[in-house]
Structure 1
């Protein structure tokens, strides 16, 4: 935190304020992510996201007003957290429901790419205001206030796109659903008609299998399995340690390069730039080339190895001296950057599309809400305890995350399902759901239909 922020809010316990300001937003995000699904179910994905962005901007406004009150700032953090959590729970569902299966992983993982872009920009803005502006209120108000720019772009940008095809079909608005699918696929050819037939049959089979009882749907073995997987994926994402590094990068790097604040901010800025470049390369070239499951397993063990090396280096050699960081300190930073690259090729982007694609349409709101609320719950927990872990354990903190990575790799190896290249309707067969049906037959039925109405009749006959 900048000296100007400390002067404006007049506090002395930097560790506590740092932990509280980050964790409060995560707490608000957890509450909103867990509770947003009834609104998304009733009003649709598009309008729910727009409402979330409006709430987020209101919260940020409360943060930047010159109140000189930590209470006002904290209230703003909670409110902005509501908007953030709601949007992160609904956006993956919207993306999964509108994406072609061939590039669904790439589009779903783009959320992590945009997260990384935002983190990178924020790091460099922090570095810029720290080194170029005097210690006045603008030094912290500019970085905080700029959060409203991407929120406004998302909220206003959604005015140009249609509502989710599958949500419209679930609500019985078949013609609107067809127009939505035509728009997003830029075609009304046979393949698009077949896809539309598959969507309709999938929804009808869900209704037949569940008899409209949502609570009982969640207790079905296939859905319990999916909920457990979703919970685990986002818990594991936080247990990699990379989110903690994103929040508290300067504090981490100070344990390696010394107390030079500008230098630690510079390294953190480079860390953010690497994060964005790595996840972009993964999404463009590898996301649809590699399977979800082997990518997660191998990367977990690679991150374990990197963190162990970091810990050994820090406790067998001197990382920093009075004259600055040593070669061992530089090597440690390099290993952390390597771990970051591995994370951006795996646990950073993959949980988002994975958890959105494994649920059937009827309970996708609930499933994604549980998944994303888990992310925010443990985000809250680690953002609260990480400053104290750094203060107490130093670089042994990396060893803790190494142990978590080992457990994650083993769990994925034994329990995760491979979803790459499968349609959302095929997930029912993959998870042995009661609503499973012959997807190939449904698509063939759609390919032989002359129009949308014919496809719909074919769906009923199937």
Structure 2
């Protein structure tokens, strides 16, 4: 039976994880409005295959550029200077401002809408840097993986809200008029307003308090709100102080450790590869362009919006698989099985589409390949759902878990921010070429994603180490570095009295043992 403080630990972690609802909704917004004729009319957009591809690429690139700039250059320094809570709140405020820009921008001024997309991306980049650091610095190791699996699930919750709002607006587009797309955009306010109103009622992380001014009492007060005993609090305070002291004196207190420390550098490069891999599996493209993809399969816009909404609904359930698999089977197992499953799905969907005929009379100038029969369309939609089944608990959830837990305190916020925004760098590349690739080659484009997924499975097998049940302070040893806690302990002179060690218990929980000289 969980204690009250363990329940509270879950509560504060899930409030922080709502930043991912923000990301899921924002990242799905344009896909949800891309079929709106009222949006086209409001911004004087004349539809054509070429213009659609170029405009959609520009709108999505604007979002990702904002996220990358904020995540790489602002998110980490802000979270380290002002705290993890301030980072999350700042990201939420930027999204609130951008929502009003997009919803009430001047008619015909597509530049204002694009500017809003840039600002939304910046908000996402800042919030997604601070959020994982906050969760990991307050969560005990034995539930860290489970909590971070909810981080990815909340992305699916954001998509769920966006697509169901989009479906409802599509069903009532005649009544709503131009509000059929404005309603989708303005619902972006829901989560950032919640974050701003709640985030400063939560404790700041003890690691940040100690790193920024050595505020031991404040750090101790934060831990007392989420740990069951005073002994746990004191042991963790000692570990944090030891690790930070070693990082400050022996490595670097600045971000230069990202490049100077070989073990940190190795982690960073692997994290870059995993986060880029998360998007080039095909998921990033499908999340942005599924409406365009399904327009090549189904005639009815209502059907397309409903499929998107159902996919987002099932994605929540699929992500929950990570909560019981990530600690039982480990991160590496999920990466490999997920990549192989996704690769097979991409082969199947490309084969089904390219080897079946179009419905008679369905070929038009806008759809030169026509659309498929209903049974073929259902088969294709089912395969995309199966793809999501493999993706969500593996490269969806586990990428975030692995990235957020492997870095030491002195570089954690900046490293997580840089690595997570590698997703958006990969997305820029995919979003620029995929609409053109799809128009020119059709579903043959998905064979490329199949090959990518098989290569990712090979990469994980040979390069990525397992991080299950390793405490944050001892992660350095796994990657060829030194134990920051033990080294810091020696530097602070704790060995003469008593030494604090962490050992992994039989069930994966970290047990703290005091050993007297």
TM-score, structure 2 length as denominator?
0.82
Q: Are positions 1:183 and 2:221 aligned together?
A: no
Q: Say whether 1:3 aligns with 2:37.
A: yes
1:245-285 CA deviation, whole Å, 9 max, x = no partner? 11111111222x333222122111111111112113432x3
**SS at 1:184 equivalent:** coil
Which residue of structure 1 aligns with residue 134 of structure 2? 94
Pick which of 55-64 and 207-216 moved more.
207-216
Q: CA deviation at 1:366?
A: 2.1
Partner residue in 2 for 1:16? 54
Deviations along 1:348-395, one digit per CA (max 9) or x if unpaired, are 111112111111000112211210121122223323332222212211
Match of 2:68 in 1: 30
Is the partner of 2:455 in helix, strand or coil?
helix
Preserved contact between residue 24 and residue 380 of structure 1 (Cα < 8 Å): no
Q: 2:441 maps to what in 1?
A: 393
Partner of 1:47: 86
Contact 1:360 / 1:428 at 8 angstroms: preserved in 2? yes
Instruction: Name the residue aligned to 1:71.
Output: 111
Note the alpha carbon deviations across 1:205-255, whole angstroms, 9 max, x for none.
222421546425522210110110111111000011012111111111222
Q: Secondary structure of 1:259's match?
A: coil
Cα separation, 2, equivalents of 1:211 and 1:120: 43
Query: Do residues 124 (structure 1) and 139 (structure 2) align?
Result: no
Q: Could you list the runs of 5+ residues in structure 2 that have no partner in the other structure?
A: 1-33, 363-371, 503-513
Q: CA deviation at 1:309?
A: 1.5
In structure 2, the partner of 1:454 is none
RMSD, aligned α-carbons: 2.5
Shift of 1:326: 4.3
What is residue 452 of structure 1 aligned with on the other side?
none
SS at match of 1:318: coil
Q: How does 1:272-421 map to 2 (within 5 A)?
A: 272-283=312-323, 285-318=324-357, 320=359, 325-421=373-469
Deviation of 1:435 (Å): 4.8
Report what 1:160 is aligned to.
Answer: 201
Match of 1:244 in 2: 285
2:95 maps to 56
Contact 1:61 1:145 in 2 (8 A): yes
Q: Which runs of 4+ in 1 moved over 4 A?
A: 211-214, 319-324, 435-439, 441-444
After TM superposition, the structure 1 = structure 2 runs for residues 193-208 of structure 1, keeping only pairs within 5 Å, are 193-208=234-249
Shift of 1:80: 1.6
Higher relative contact order (CA 8 A, sep 6+): 1
- Corresponding residue for residue 366 of structure 2: none
Change (3 A) 1:361 1:320: farther
Report if aligned partners of 1:34, 1:373 keep a CA contact under 8 Å in 2: yes
Contact kept in structure 1, 2:276 and 2:423, CA below 8 Å: yes
Q: What runs of 5+ residues in structure 1 fail to find an aligned partner?
A: 449-457
* Matching residue within 108, 125, 129 for 1:85: 125
1: distance between equivalents of 2:360 and 2:263?
A: 56
C-alpha change, 1:65 and 1:208, in structure 2 (3 Å) is same
Bigger mean CA deviation after superposition, 429-438 or 125-134:
429-438
* Structure 1 residues 216 and 424: alpha-carbon distance in aligned structure 2, compared to 1, 3 A threshold: closer
Secondary structure (helix, strand or coil) at the match of 1:425 reads helix
Match of 2:14 in 1: none
Q: CA separation of 1:319/1:267 partners in 2, compared to 1, >3 Å: closer, same or farther?
A: farther
> What is the rounded CA distance, in whole Å, between the counterparts of 2:246 and 2:310 in structure 1?
50
Deviation, structure 1 residue 415: 0.8
In structure 2, C-alpha distance between the alignment counterparts of 1:140 and 1:216, rounded to whole Å: 46
The structural deviation recorded for 1:422 is: 1.2
Mapped partners of 1:217, 1:272: distance in 2 = 36
Q: 1:319 to 1:420 in 2, by over 3 A?
A: farther
Structure 1 distance, partners of 2:427, 2:145, is: 23
Quote the offset at 1:64 in angstroms. 0.4
Call closer, same or farther: CA 1:211–1:76 in 2, change over 3 Å.
Answer: closer
